[in-house]
Structure 1
Amino acid sequence: MAQEYPASEVRPRRRGRKLLIGLFVLLLLLAGLLVVADRVAVGVAERTIADRVSQEVAKQGAQSTRPDVEVAGIPFLTQVLDGRYERITIKLRDVQASVEGGAVQLPVLDVDARNVRASLDTLRSGQGDVVADTVKGTGTISYDSLAALLKRPGLTLGEQNGKLAVTAPADILGQKLTISGTADVTVADNGAVALRFNDLDAAGLPNLPLARAFLSNYAKSISIDVPLPDLPFQLAVREVRPLPEGLAVTADAKNVPINSAG
């Protein structure tokens, strides 16, 4: 025979279940509101940083599309309270900057800031520095803009087996030939990209001292130091290497105020 419970015992149990369910629903709603607030705060921070970066790019006489900014780390609001952010990434597209002798074009410039420090007072007042422990920048210089700086009609640059390759038409001793070869690419002491063409040849080149001298002089004339525009966030170029899509540039900096770039 089933045991029967007094009605006075059943009601409190039901009320207890309803209370627990109500608390659970309330917690879910609060969690949802916190997530929404967290994402809204991230959006505001990303737009603010994008505005600052756009101003700094323009201040340096360069052009780019509006930066894409992403503040990593969840939840964001706890990072605000702690005054330290795991990572902030900034992507600049279609960057163009004037340099001596022409312009340098970077289809994409990626900036990665790690361990960013910003106190809550700094964020509230806008006064003080937002400092990143490390900042790394990676970009690609288009071969077309690089070739234009060499000022040789018909000259083209590209990548061949990991090296910077060149081809160019030339009139050597009355013969129309095509010069081809590769260059060593390094970072000069002044931060410029040093191009040294020391391995040029031309199919059908006459085996004459005058023809060889022409080729040698041509190689010297296009072996230049390409000045790079000032990069944001005090980035200093450390490495350059040819890739199929362009000349890849890697730069870095430490203890950088990212709210006063340049």
Structure 2
Amino acid sequence: MAEVYGTERPRRRRGRKLLFVLLTLLVILLIGLVVLDRFSNSYAENVIADKVTEEVANQKAESSRPVVTIAGVPFLTQVLAGKYEEIRIELPDFKAQTGTGETVRMDVLDIRARQVTAPLSALRSGQGEVRAGTVTGTGTLDYGLLADATGQQGLQLAEKDGKLVGSGVVKISQTQEIPLSAAAELKVVDGRVQVRFSDVTAQGVPDNPLVRTQVNSFVERMAFELDVPKLPLNLVIQELTPLPDGLRVTLGATDVPLAAGGV
């Protein structure tokens, strides 16, 4: 019996060592794949950032370095399939000139490209096209910028109960001023943001036709239009939403080429 036990124990030890070595190699392999996946993801994000920077410059717009995030893990399986869940592109400090000379500014223009197709052959050869089924974007316009666009001194814009409200003071004489406010109607017409005011609320307006004419004239001058500059990735305005921190602009486009010859 002693001889039997003497031969069994070394075999068991060798088997355990072999299993430990295999598990160690497997862990190293998995770590290597994760590192390669993240490296490839980071490389692709930097390439996209470079291409977006070029497009922004080509449209005579400005922004800080784009921040690109390719969603989905693992990344390499998306590369092999040629399909990507979502690519997020943030353009910090975005600025663009309108056709009428105003500068549209957004702290961040947040763009999401979904249903992105990029054949592996296009990535390898540099030939082919990368397209997104849908592209959406959001940004916020400062109310001060919009108020300046009216040219009306003393006009203030703000959000109240989900609506854009303009307020100001009408001077009807050297000694008398009337504060008033009015709700805005927002539209996008032929590539221009159109703002018109109605539902005027004024305090202490005398029942005087001349004074009422002055008030109506002030409200008419509050109305304004703002050109929409050419935006990256063929984005166009779809919705305007007044928020406490500014006017939220929702943008969209479909079937958009992101790059020629790969991401």
TM-score by length of 2: 0.91
- What does 1:113-192 align with in structure 2 at a 5 Å threshold? 113-174=113-174, 175-188=176-189, 190-192=190-192
Q: SS where residue 259 of structure 1 aligns?
A: strand
Paired AA for residue 31 in structure 1: L
Deviates more, 1:45-54 or 1:208-217: 208-217
Q: Distance in 2 between matches of 1:219 and 1:124?
A: 60
Query: Structure 1 runs of 4+ off > 4 angstroms?
Result: none
Q: Quote the residue 1:72 is aligned against.
A: 71
Q: Which has the higher contact order (CA 8 A, sep 6+)?
A: 2
Q: SS where residue 4 of structure 2 aligns?
A: coil
Q: SS where residue 5 of structure 1 aligns?
A: helix
Paired AA for residue 46 in structure 2: R
Deviates more, 1:216-225 or 1:74-83: 216-225
Q: C-alpha displacement at 1:148, in angstroms?
A: 1.2
Q: Quote the residue 1:42 is aligned against.
A: 41
The number of residue pairs the alignment matches comes to: 258
Q: Quote the residue 2:16 is aligned against.
A: 17
Q: Distance in 2 between matches of 1:193 and 1:236?
A: 11
5+ long unaligned stretches in structure 1:
none
Root-mean-square deviation (CA, aligned residues, Å) is: 1.9
Contact 2:149–2:224 (8 Å) recurs in 1: no
Contact 1:102–1:148 (8 Å) recurs in 2: no
Please state if 1:52 is matched with 2:51.
Answer: yes
Q: SS where residue 254 of structure 1 aligns?
A: strand
Contact 1:104–1:146 (8 Å) recurs in 2: no
Q: 1:191 to 1:3 in 2, by over 3 A?
A: farther
Q: 1:196 to 1:3 in 2, by over 3 A?
A: farther
Q: C-alpha displacement at 1:57, in angstroms?
A: 1.5
Q: Quote the residue 2:96 is aligned against.
A: 97
Q: Distance in 2 between matches of 1:61 and 1:200?
A: 39
5+ long unaligned stretches in structure 2:
none
Q: Distance in 1 between matches of 2:64 and 2:207?
A: 52
Contact 1:132–1:254 (8 Å) recurs in 2: yes
Paired AA for residue 83 in structure 1: G
Q: SS where residue 130 of structure 1 aligns?
A: strand
Structure 1 vs Structure 2: percent identity of aligned residues?
Answer: 45
